[in-house]
Structure 1
Amino acid sequence: MKISATIITFNEEQNIKRCLESLLEVADEIVVVDSHSTDQTETICMSYEQVRFIKNEFPGHIEQKNFAIEQAAHEWILSLDADECLSDHLKTEIETIKSFDQTDFQAYSMPRLNNYCGKWIKHSGWYPDRKVRLWNRKIGKWGGNNPHDKVILDTDLRAGNLKADLLHYTIASLSAHINQVNKFSEIAARQLMNSDEKSSATFKMIFDPPFIFIKRYILQLGFLDGFYGLCIAVISATAKFLKYAKYRQLKSKK
């Protein structure tokens, strides 16, 4: 069993080395598809012999990740974002799977532990945040809605569950989170605009944000994450409001 690790990047000089270093022991090749970064991302990637660095104009998160899979040499794909890395225990689990002649599953999910402003978040609906990231490319590919992509497997298949954490250095500061929400809500609004979904934007603008806050902070025990649990709940609610506010604005312009 050989594994192709795939990563998409754009200006990831702060994260990419950590991600690549975690993959060196388990991946038989590492494919990085870059959207013409203007920082040191390319220089860092090219310093590793195991990395194939490919430039491709960014068509969308889902499309770029599927393009990366198409460049891979091996059937088994291990797909990470640049701000993610394998924990030591997860590397050991994957190496154990690689040692088998045959595996029980054609796909594996792993719990993702998110680091928010320097704090590991164990509640707020952010953990275990299980993701399929290791699978046989014959039975699945990236899908979902941009920017919230996910691996879609053939309907009659289920993924095996790995126990060790995938580490996600998601947000470095509150300002970064707000900037991300502004960017992602714009993408989500345009995605909604181009879909067949019928949505009452005004209704969702009024009722979805308070529900999201209650869900994150109370039902999903965000208060146990302290100050940052409160920040996550408030900003998550704001993100929902902005998605439908921007959708309504686009609709009125059209």
Structure 2
Amino acid sequence: MVNKISAVIITLNEEKNIGRCLSSLQGVADEIIVVDSGSTDDTQHIAMQYGAQFIVQPWQGYGKQKNIAAEKAKYEFILSLDADEALSEQLRSTLIAIKNQPMADAYQFNRLTNYCGQWIRHCGWYPDKKIRLWRKGMASWTTPRIHETIKLAGGVNAKPIQGDLLHYTYYTIAEHIAVANKYTTLVAQEYADRGKKPTLIKLFLSPIFGFLRDYFLRLGLLDGYYGFVICLVAAFSTFLKYAKLKQLLQEEK
């Protein structure tokens, strides 16, 4: 008996990415569910061209939105992707084999990121291990303000499998900086909620140590110019989240 896969994706104005994602699912997913939080571009039209079930759902946060999408799935296995991700050919082949002969209740594979047209294999960005395929009921997304992760049911272990999940992240450096600005604001708010304090060491030394770690120890220098940019933006983001946290705490006084 061939097991079936439900692919679930959350979207908001993803017309430049969604077609590539859905195309890679052809022949792998037995149903595709797109849960959209109010796109005003061509996302819905593209999704429906690929036969996806398109559901409009007001934004609930990353983890909650992904859990809502997973709840809509009707088949045995759930494959959860972001709109800017796509299956590599090797990963497609591996998933098809799993449908014919499942070996576990959850699966983990590496994510390879494309930054401004270049594949990044260092900087701490690869291998970026992700659990994205699981048997229904065996996992769910956590629901923090940002950086949601998969929580497996008790006793379930994720089996590593072959093939990369391709992540088309930033098309320009400006886009990267804009997202870093948005996310550091969310992180600062989360830190404030948890009572975390922006010590001088965190504010001034963490960005420096972070850059040295990513660029030298994690070999970001081997990714050339964009490796340098990635490590520098990451270091500045570390500074920003603590600087914003400091400002938030001052405003609360």
Q: Report the TM-score when normalising by structure 1.
A: 0.94
Give the superposition deviation at 1:240: 1.0
Cα gap change, 1:54 to 1:184, in 2 (>3 Å)? same
CA deviations over 1:197-247 (Å, ceiling 9, x no partner)? 533344311121111101110010000000111001100011111112112
Q: What is the SS of the residue equivalent to 1:231?
A: helix
Q: Provide the alpha-carbon RMSD of the alignment.
A: 1.4
Tell whether the 8 Å contact from 1:86 to 1:166 is kept in structure 2 after alignment.
Answer: yes
The verdict on how the C-alpha distance between 1:244 and 1:37 changes in structure 2, with shifts beyond 3 A counting, is same
Structure 2: state its 5+ residue gaps.
none
Q: How far off is 1:20 after superposition?
A: 0.5
Q: Counterpart in 1 of 2:155?
A: 156
Match of 2:115 in 1: 116
Aligned-pair distance for 1:58?
Answer: 1.0
2:30 alignment partner in structure 1 = 28
Aligned to 1:131: 130
Identify which range, 241-250 or 138-147, moves more after superposition: 138-147
* Number of positions where the alignment pairs a residue of Structure 1 with one of Structure 2: 250
Q: Name the stretch that deviates more: 156-165 or 25-34.
A: 156-165
Matched, 1:42 2:26: no
CA distance in 2, matches of 1:202, 1:59: 35
Q: Hey, what's the Cα distance between the residues in 1 that align with 2:190 and 2:97?
A: 40
**Counterpart in the other structure of 1:212:** 210
Gap runs ≥5 in structure 1: none
Q: 2:64 aligned with 1:55, yes or no? A: no
Note the alpha carbon deviations across 1:141-179, whole angstroms, 9 max, x for none.
111643212211124322111111110001111101001
Per the normalisation by structure 2, the TM-score is: 0.95
- Partner SS, residue 21 of structure 1: helix
Moved over 6 A (4+): none
2:61–2:143 Cα contact (<8 Å) kept: no
Q: Contact conserved, 2:110 with 2:126, CA < 8 A, in 1?
A: yes
Alignment of 1:3-14 (within 5 A): 3-14=5-16
Q: What corresponds to 1:99 in structure 2?
A: 100
Aligned partner of 2:232 among 231, 234, 242: 234
Deviates more, 1:240-249 or 1:177-186: 240-249
- Asked whether 1:252 is paired with 2:253, we answer no
1:141 maps to what in 2? 140
Q: Is the 8 A contact 2:62 2:143 kept in 1?
A: no
Q: Quick one: percent identity of the two aligned structures?
A: 46
